[in-house]
């Protein structure tokens, strides 16, 4: 109660009045609860920086792990992908699907063999004719280029 305050205490208060406003000002700042709290504010501001460092390290560690996994996979021999066309669907393995045809007579087999031999010869001749034609074509071009070179080096260079 104000009546019980002794007179010397009042005098104390008046001499303290010089630094009292400062104390009040400090108290007013929103990020400090007390004078001693000044030191605790520093870590609060540095927190984002630490996040970056830690994250960077974590990310690097992750990347390395991924790379290791990739290397392992690559080292493993590539599996063969089954080709769809080579797998016969099961319905075509049923026995009732087999065609019933008369067997070949010996004359027929003879005829086939002779025909295939004739075909061999025919194809050989065709192939030789093609090769000959290509050779003639190339020779004709070589001759033309030779003559051109005799005429003019410039035109020859433009042609090749």
Partner 1 sequence: SAAARRPWRLFGAMCLLRLPRITQPLEKEEEEVAALMEQIELERSLYSDHEMRKLEEEEQLRKKMESLYDEDEVHGKTVIMAQDLEEKWEQKFLGFKAAPRITDADKNNDRTSLNRKLDSNLMLLVKHKIGNQELWLLPQVEWQPGETLRSTAERAMATFLGDHIQAKVLGNAPYGIYKYKFPKAIRTENNVGAKVFFFKAFLQSSDLSQAQLKADYLWVTKKELGDYLQSEYLKKVNRFLLD
State the binding string over 18-37 for partner 1 (x if CB under 8 A, else -).
--------------------
Answer for which of 20, 31, 139, 149 binds partner 1 (CB under 8 A) is 139
Is 133 in contact with 141 (CB distance < 8 Å)?
A: no
Task: Extract the tokens encoding 157.
Answer: 């260079």
Reduced to 3 states, what is the DSSP secondary structure of residue 87?
Answer: coil
Q: For residues 51 and 48, what is the distance between their CA atoms, to the nearest angstrom?
A: 5
Does residue number 117 form part of the binding site for partner 1 (CB under 8 A)?
no
Q: Which of residues 69-108 bind partner 1 (CB under 8 A)?
A: 92, 96-99, 101
Q: For residues 115 and 104, what is the distance between their CA atoms, to the nearest angstrom?
A: 15
Q: Which residues bind partner 1 (CB under 8 A)?
A: 92, 96-99, 101, 112, 115-116, 118-119, 122, 133-134, 136-137, 139-141, 143-145, 147-148, 150-155, 158-160
């Amino acid at each position: 109660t104000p009546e019980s305050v002794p007179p010397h205490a009042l005098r104390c208060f008046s001499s303290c009045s010089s630094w009292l406003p400062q104390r009040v000002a400090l108290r007013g700042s929103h990020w400090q609860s007390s004078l001693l709290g000044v030191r605790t504010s520093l870590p609060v501001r540095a927190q984002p920086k630490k996040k970056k460092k830690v994250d960077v390290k974590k990310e690097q560690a992750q990347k390395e792990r991924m790379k290791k996994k990739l290397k392992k996979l690559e080292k493993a021999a590539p599996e063969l992908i089954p080709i769809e066309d080579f797998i016969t669907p099961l319905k075509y393995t049923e026995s009732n699907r087999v065609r019933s045809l008369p067997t070949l007579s010996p004359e027929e087999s003879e005829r086939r063999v002779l025909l295939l031999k004739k075909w061999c010869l025919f194809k050989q001749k065709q192939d030789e004719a093609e090769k000959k034609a290509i050779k003639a074509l190339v020779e004709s071009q070589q001759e033309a280029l030779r003559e051109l070179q005799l005429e003019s080096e410039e035109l020859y260079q433009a042609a090749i």
